Structure 1
């Protein structure tokens, strides 16, 4: 329709009138009723498409279609295995997102007031328009799923890391890359917390789908492989339970994915995070590191605290690839340590 309008050089005020001619049955009736309620003879094309999509293809349905596309299978093989086929190319064109290719892939949520991104930024052409996101409710988990869904559209992506603006890498890119690509599991913290901050947040309203013994807690700062990411964004049943029953202050971002992965894909997960966080101060938020904290000794401690963790069936002292939370004041002292401690080299 848009191509026809462009070819015929239709004026905007005539587009809706022309398109409405092809509406039939319920759609035609709803269009006439809507015009009458709005009290306007002529409606803009923008308003026409907004009303049509709201009724027949709302945003949540577009998301579901996109997620189903990502999980398409032929026998036991996922859609990623058929990315070069003609059928895949046609299906890819029906998705709403256009992702430029790159050796790496960064996506970020974009708030409505943020429009301009420098073309030198790693976020250029990769920002995802954000819906309203609030701490303590399921919208935060929804934002994670939207980021994953967009990153999955680039078939070259095999590992997915969720970070915030206060996170930093504590090893250089080659080390991080080898560690993640070589791992047989994903890295998502998932544990049974019997306290009021764990099981105390469980609601019987989600029974029988989720039982108390399956309830898990974990950090939202995760790293998962492509197969698990596809399963996460394809889930509609369990995410819907969290959206419906978990209102403030239930912190679904700490429970939805740890519980869902534990229930169905536990063997694929290491049950630990690769992001270092300091909770020793207590309270609802971890410690924030400022300029006074940034020393070689401190950074070396994050990289190797003396603890061992499991990696592909063996034990290793390399447990954390990233760390948080770092205040803006920590930026310059961190930059001074990039080559001497963190192993970064200028290109």
Structure 2
């Protein structure tokens, strides 16, 4: 999809205050040459100023799985990465941050599988979680 089409689709779904804001903001840009990256920068500067981005970065860096299942932890982590591109773009940092937030038993098992990417770490986490469930089920049957 072309940049102009992405911008048009995004602005079409803006509602309420965001729609009114964009009507005013659009007067200050050349819509014919506005790229998707430029649009996101304008939008994020309005709705995610530096202090909010800083808070979101701290939240992502301190995100812990706790009692949630792997799928829920991945969902929260991915959502956080969306707003913290410095981590999301750095594959090593992204995987390290994800691994650091995992429950210790899963972290150990995933490390033993030696994932080389964030996606592999996700798959390993699902496998490790299933293995722990299997062990729990077996213990309950005894």
TM-score normalised by L of structure 1: 0.23
Question: Structure with the greater relative contact order (CA < 8 A, sep ≥ 6): 1 or 2?
Answer: 2
Larger radius of gyration: 1
Larger strand share, 1 or 2? 1
Normalising by the residue count of structure 2, what TM-score does the alignment of the two structures yield?
0.50
